[in-house]
Amino acid sequence: MKEIILIKNGEIALKGLNRSTFEDALVKNIKRRLSPLFSADIKKSQSTIVITPLSENPDMDKAVEQISRVFGIAGFSRAAACEKDMDVIRSVTVDYLRDQLLDARTFKVEAKRSDKTFPLKSPEICMELGATILQNYPHISVDVHNPDIVVNIEVREQYTYIHGNQIRGAGGMPVGTSGRAAVMISGGIDSPVAAYMMSRRGLSLDAIHFASPPYTSARAEQKVHELLGKVSKYSGTINLMVVPFTEIQEHIKDDCPEDLFTIIMRRMMVRIAQELAERQGDGALITGESLAQVASQTMRAIGCTDAVATMPVFRPLIGMDKNDIVEISRKIDTFEISIQPYEDCCTVFTPKHPRLRPTLDDVIEAEKALDMDALIKRAVDGVKLIVIDKSIEI
């Protein structure tokens, strides 16, 4: 008997003729995540990916932790692989699932027999194995409708796989299968969640952060590094571009109407972000905006911001309540970092009474006071690049 991991694909199963492309990407991502732990044979078989460690004494607990953060996986199980012999199957089941069976009060057996040469049919496997479990664990009873544990027996061409309840996977699509996009990230709660959600849809990520020293501190930038480190546990490598934004904000403050400051600032951010995104080969921008959450996120304000966009702007949080966003931030372990009191550039020179229903004509007229091309060029030329990847740290 040897221990393996069985992975069940999620949406990949619906991809038709393109399915193998998505499966290959998923296998590549799994290999990368497991490479610091052990070498493994990873094979695709009947809508399942089978991971067989090749090293002695592999750290399966760490492997499960890594796999739980790989997008594209609906569910997975630690399983025992044994001979296709009913006596062996009975013995391995009783021993391998001991802890799970001792903790359960009810169970049922499910069997799949893809190898039709196996002498027992699926219902007969269930009956024999159920009797064995009842004999060895007299405290447990059968419940075919809502059992505490489902004992799964999969008789395949080479081995029989035995496992208990499936562990829920991260879902989504394999990172890299939907292209690349750049997330505009502050130090708040929302943008790391937006990055996580779009990576879950298969996007590889770049990130753009606007820094305004001395109004924002080095600790505020470090906070962004830490947030992206948490996101990268799911997304893999993130290229962070830090944009010097102080000069632009000071010019807006001095030369533009105060009530339009935030809208003009956001439009400048989008212009700069698009230029950087195009250099990276990104096809879209991602923001953490949620409709009506703040003055710059009213429908009219978002419309003024998007008027300068020449590529898609994804807003995965646009219809979400703050409580829902916070729940996800806790799940991905970014919340406690986000609430640290180190302010980002979005809080610099915030107008007392921002215009809630700005018109595009007014914004365009106000921007004429700025030397737009020169300001953008100096900001882009001063960008600092940092590579962040915590996905293979053990």
Report pLDDT digits (tens) over 133-184. 999 999 999 999 999 999 999 999 889 999 999 999 999 999 999 999 999 9
Confidence of residue 386 (pLDDT cuts 50, 70, 90): very high
- pLDDT tens profile 268-291: 999 999 999 999 999 999 999 999
The answer to whether 234 and 196 have CB atoms below 8 angstroms apart is: yes
What pLDDT is recorded for position 310?
A: 95
Instruction: Give me the phi and psi of 168, to 5 degrees please.
Output: -70, 135
- pLDDT tens profile 64-118: 999 999 999 999 999 999 999 999 999 999 999 999 999 999 999 999 999 999 9
Please report the sign of the dihedral spanned by the C-alpha atoms of residue 235, residue 241, residue 244, residue 245: negative
Residue among 326, 316, 310 nearest 288 (CA): 316
**pTM (two decimals):** 0.92
Distance between CA atoms of residues 131 and 86, nearest Å: 13
Q: Which long-range contacts (CB under 8 A, 24 or more apart) does 335-338 make?
A: 335/189, 337/223, 337/226, 337/227, 337/230, 338/187, 338/188, 338/189, 338/192, 338/223, 338/227
Confidence of residue 335 (pLDDT cuts 50, 70, 90): very high
What pLDDT is recorded for position 38?
A: 94
What pLDDT is recorded for position 60?
A: 96
Residue 270 DSSP label: H
What is the pLDDT averaged over residues 309-322? Answer: 96
Give me the residues paired with residue 240 across strands.
207, 386
CB atoms within 10 A of CB 69: 17
Residue 265 DSSP label: H
Residue 40 CA from chain centroid, whole number: 23
CB atoms within 10 A of CB 151: 23
CA geometry: angle 138, 141, 146, nearest 5 deg: 150
Tokens standing for 178?
């939907």
**Of the ranges 243-252, 310-319, 322-331, 351-360, which one carries the lowest mean pLDDT score?**
351-360
CB atoms within 10 A of CB 161: 20
Residue among 54, 78, 80, 48 nearest 66 (CA): 78
What pLDDT is recorded for position 98?
A: 97
**Of the ranges 82-96, 242-256, 294-308, which one carries the lowest mean pLDDT score?**
294-308
What pLDDT is recorded for position 227?
A: 97
